[in-house]
Every structure is written in C-alpha cells, then in structure tokens.
Structure 1
Amino acid sequence: MNKIDLKILNEKEILTVKEAAALFYCSVKSIYRYINYGQIKATNLGNRLTRIKRSDIDDLFRVE
C-alpha cells in the first residue's frame, strides 16, 4: 500500500497503525509513540496487529 486513499480511510471504522499515520500525516513511529503515551487508544491483537478505532481518533479533535 504505497498510497493510501483518504476517502477509503474516512469510511473505515478500524485502522492499522500505517493508516492512522496517513491520516495524521506523520510516521508510523510517531503513532506508536502516541499510543505508548496514552494519547491514542489502541488494541494490540498480537505481533504487528495493532488496531485503532476511527472514533477514538475523531475524539482527539472533538472540542467540548
């Protein structure tokens, strides 16, 4: 997956770390750092199987 289509990512509910990095326009390493700091919620399903709910990403940008 060299180029990730942002339209498709906006429709997906569960994202990989690589897809989340594409949404944030940052590196995969940065996404793992955000996960480790607790800024992004993620579920680790095994080696190389970390998944992030799209709604958790949207919550980061919600203004209350």
Structure 2
Amino acid sequence: MNKIDEKILNQKEFLTVKETAILLSCSVKSIYRSINDGRIKVTNLGDRMTRIKRSDIDDLFKAK
C-alpha cells in the first residue's frame, strides 16, 4: 500500500486528503471534488492542513 500501512489508517481518527485517497483507492483530485460537492466533510486547520474525520468516511458507506 502506498507507503502507508492500512492498519495505521484504520486506527487514525483524522486523515489527510492523501491518506483518504489511499484508503478509498482513488485520486486526491477525486477527494477534493467530493469535498467541494459536499459529500465529504472536512476541517481546515490552515491553508494546507485539511483533515477528514475517519467516522465521516465510514458514514459514506452505511446504508440509509
């Protein structure tokens, strides 16, 4: 897996955009598109510090 162990990603509470892309097996561009569309909620800690809650990613795949 792209230099990041999957177990570590599963244990982290907050993920970077790149880590989220690795976890979901998609591009960073796709993650930013989902953020801009409002499908993924983020917390911006600064200009270059966007973080995504792991629980929000899990909620994307839960049945409604």
Equivalent residues, number: 63
Letter of the aligned partner of 2:32 in structure 1?
Y
- Name 1:56's counterpart in structure 2: 56
Structure 1 unmatched runs, 5+: none
Give the fraction of aligned pairs with identical amino acids, expressed as a percent: 75
Gap regions ≥5 residues in structure 2: none
Residue in structure 2 matched with residue 36 of structure 1 by the alignment: 36
Match of 1:25 in 2: 25
TM-score (norm 2): 0.91
Q: CA deviation at 1:4?
A: 1.3
Rounded Cα–Cα distance in structure 1 between residues aligned with 2:42 and 2:10: 17
In the superposition, the TM-score normalised over structure 1's length comes to 0.91
